[in-house]
Amino acid sequence: MIQHVQQWLLPLHADMVAWRRHLHQHPELSFQERATAAFIADRLRAEGIAVRTDVARLTPDAPGTGVIGIVRGERATSDRCFALRADTDALPILEEGKPGYCSTVPGVMHACGHDAHTAMVLGAGIALHRNRALWSGTVMLVFQPGEEKEPGGASLLVNEGALRDPAPSGILGQHVTPELPVGMLGFRSGAFMAAADELYLTVKGRGGHAAQRHKLKMVDPLLIAARLLPELYEEAQRAVPSGEPMVLSFGKLIANGATNIVPDTATIEGTLRTFNEELRAQLHALLPRISAEVARSMGGEVDFRLVKGSPVVKNDPALTARMRAVAVELVGADKVVDMDIRMGAEDFAYYTHVMPGCFFRLGTGNPAKPGTQSGLHRAEFDIDEDALALGAAMMMAGALAELAG
């Protein structure tokens, strides 16, 4: 069956490019993907695929912007089900011009390849539906909003029970990567991507006229912040066992004073990335305690708010081994590589904590095509669209292998 998937996709190659470019030109931010959801649902319904909309609700009053398609094989009766996932949201980035398909929404851009992910799962789902007489079982197409923003659309879908009827035995997801050339696929078994938490600190002091700082016995929040940050870095590193990956990073410090004004407060924002849940919990307790101690020692206070983000992406070893074998059959062993762990986060993780999951990397880099070797989340980012056919084929072949197994 695997050898047929590329043939089944041939009539859809131009469509996948067109869908990707349409979505690229009309990007929508996390949990605002209303037109994107309508576009997906319309394409699926036009093929006769059963569709569920209004899923992944951010609040009870807000309509959900997720879409689920159900494709049923008709070769024989089977209660097997497998899920394919695509994320659909864009980023708040002003795009640099791409002739023919640049974003038409100022300050919003598909700079992480979610337009491509969506086009590939659309292509895979439609190709499977058109050839449904040749296979058995059910494929659930999961078009998920809000990957780029907490609480993550994946967590909403899981908590809503949207993946229970029918219940998939596993789920497959992919991400474009400029690190690999077109035609390559990358896999990693076990822990693949880090758990990510957001840190928000408000340092409270007592400000005033800068010329009277000693007379007024000011408590300078900037000085507290200057002492606090290296202390947090040092204490966090001490807590980490040798060889255990961890990142603590602060990227924002704001104190709205002036040359002659010491402000009352300073705000700090950062991120914590871990692979070990025990260490993660330890740091969740340690960092607020150290912050309070440092601020108090200098006469100030600190409000420490930690927003717990997505957990570790845990690729199921057995499922990943089977998907790797599918990839080798599809493109050859020389085009399938092992990936290192990544400190980046991905809310696909939520699926991997409730069912077997495999998240792989699709090569989209090509030195001959501008932007395709740019890093993700950059204004010049682009993909080599020749990769769309392989990404869709891998998703199809993976699903069919699981349904037949």
Q: Assess whether pLDDT exceeds 80 at residue 6.
A: yes
pLDDT digits (tens, 9 = 90+) for 96-131: 777 789 999 999 999 999 999 999 999 999 999 999
Going from the N-terminus, what domains does the chain have, and what CATH number goes with each? Answer: 2-194+312-404 (3.40.630.10), 195-308 (3.30.70.360)
pTM for the model: 0.93
pLDDT at 223: 96
Question: What type of residue is 250?
Answer: F
The set of residues, in sequence order, having a beta carbon less than 8 Å from that of 33 and lying 6+ positions away, is 65, 88, 89, 145, 146
pLDDT at 356: 98
pLDDT digits (tens, 9 = 90+) for 26-38: 999 999 999 999 9
**pLDDT, mean of residues 177-188:** 98
pLDDT at 213: 83
**pLDDT, mean of residues 383-389:** 97
CA separation, residue 342 to residues 93, 150, 180, 246 (Å): 23, 19, 14, 11
pLDDT band at 215 (very low <50, low <70, confident <90, very high): confident
pLDDT at 385: 97
Q: Could you give the 3-state DSSP secondary structure of residue 89?
A: coil
Q: Considering only CA atoms, which of 145, 109, 83 is closest in space to residue 23?
A: 109
Token pair of 323, please?
Answer: 């998907």
Indicate which residues carry an active-site annotation: 89, 147
Beta strands at 195-204 and 185-187: parallel, antiparallel or unpaired: unpaired
**Phi and psi angles of residue 279, each rounded to the nearest 5 degrees, phi first:** -65, -40
Paired with 70 in beta bridges are 50, 140
Q: How far apart are CA 311 and CA 151, in angstroms?
A: 11
Q: CA triplet 124, 177, 66: central angle to 5 degrees?
A: 45
Q: How far apart are CA 14 and CA 291, in angstroms?
A: 55
Q: Assess whether pLDDT exceeds 90 at residue 319.
A: yes
Q: Assess whether pLDDT exceeds 80 at residue 72.
A: yes
Which DSSP letter does residue 210 get?
Answer: G
Query: For the purposes of burial, counting CB atoms within 10 Å of the CB of 297, is it exposed (0-12), middle (13-18) or buried (19 or more)?
Result: exposed
Query: Which residue stretches of 215-316 are H helix?
Result: 221-239, 277-297
Beta strands at 171-181 and 190-193: parallel, antiparallel or unpaired: unpaired
pLDDT digits (tens, 9 = 90+) for 54-70: 999 999 999 999 999 99
The set of residues, in sequence order, having a beta carbon less than 8 Å from that of 236 and lying 6+ positions away, is 246, 248, 283, 286, 287
Question: What type of residue is 109?
Answer: M
pLDDT, the chain, mean:
96
